[in-house]
Each structure stands twice: as structure tokens, then as C-alpha cells.
Amino acid sequence: MYVEARAVILHDQRLVIHRGRRRGGAHVSLPGGRVKQRESVEDALVREVHEETGLAVTPTHLLYVFEITSKLSLNALNLVFLAEPADAASRTLLESVDTLDLSSAEEIIPPVIDLVREDFA
């Protein structure tokens, strides 16, 4: 099992996302990724969000914990944090990053997007 840190970053009822490729196909997820050895979860979150979106963020608190099981690879424990832009440049950059409207974000892992809608819509 490995641990991933992911971020819920909201802007005008829109959810910041990361578009990538997985197993040869398009993939949409919350920004974030694997925690490296000897790295704190919050440091991993800040690093991964910056790598994927260009945003500098500050995690505010843990929202959700869920496990993704897979027959093809190791299971992943996901820690999902609410995060906010850490500086003025990142607040401005929010206007140009990939987002999805909360009401149409089914591409995100369904249990997580349902929780985000309940908590923030």
C-alpha cells in the first residue's frame, strides 16, 4: 500500500482538477500524488499540487480518507485535504487552471465528488 495526498481547491463553485494520462487514456483527478519516503503528507500535497497545477497552496484541514483497492497494483490510501492558495500569485493563477463545475464533476472519483458536493455546494 502507498499513501497519496490530494487537494480539494475550490474557486467560484468550481473544483481545481488535474488532467493526465493513465493506462493510455485520459484521466481526471484531484491534484496531488504519492507521498515520498521521509516526506510529510502536507509537504507531499504542497509539492504535488504545485507540480500539477502551478499553484502554491496551504492545506487547511483533512477532509476525507479513503482507500482505493486494485487487483492490478498496490492499494492506495488517499488523504484528501481542503487547500487554499498560499499567495497572491496563486490566487490570480486560479483563473487559468483546469477546473470542473461541482455539479458536473463525475469524472472525479465518485465517492469523493459526492462528499465535496455535500460539504461545499
Give the pLDDT confidence of 49-95 residue by residue, as tens digits: 999 999 999 999 999 998 888 787 889 999 999 999 999 999 999 99
pLDDT tens-digit map of 61-70? 999 998 888 7
Q: What is residue 35's DSSP assignment?
A: P
- CATH number of the domain where residue 56 is located: 3.90.79.10
If one counts the domains in the chain, the total is 1
d(C-alpha 99, C-alpha 69), whole Å: 26
Contact by Cβ (8 Å): 8, 15: yes
- What is the band of 29 on the pLDDT scale with cuts at 50, 70, 90? confident
Work out the burial of residue 16: count CB atoms within 10 Å of its CB; fewer than 13 is exposed, 13-18 middle, 19 or more buried.
buried
Which residue segment(s) compose the domain that 49 sits in?
Answer: 2-120
pTM of the model: 0.83
Mean pLDDT of the chain, nearest integer = 88
d(C-alpha 98, C-alpha 27), whole Å: 13
Q: Please report where in the chains the cell 493513465 appears, as a residue.
A: 22
pLDDT at 119: 77
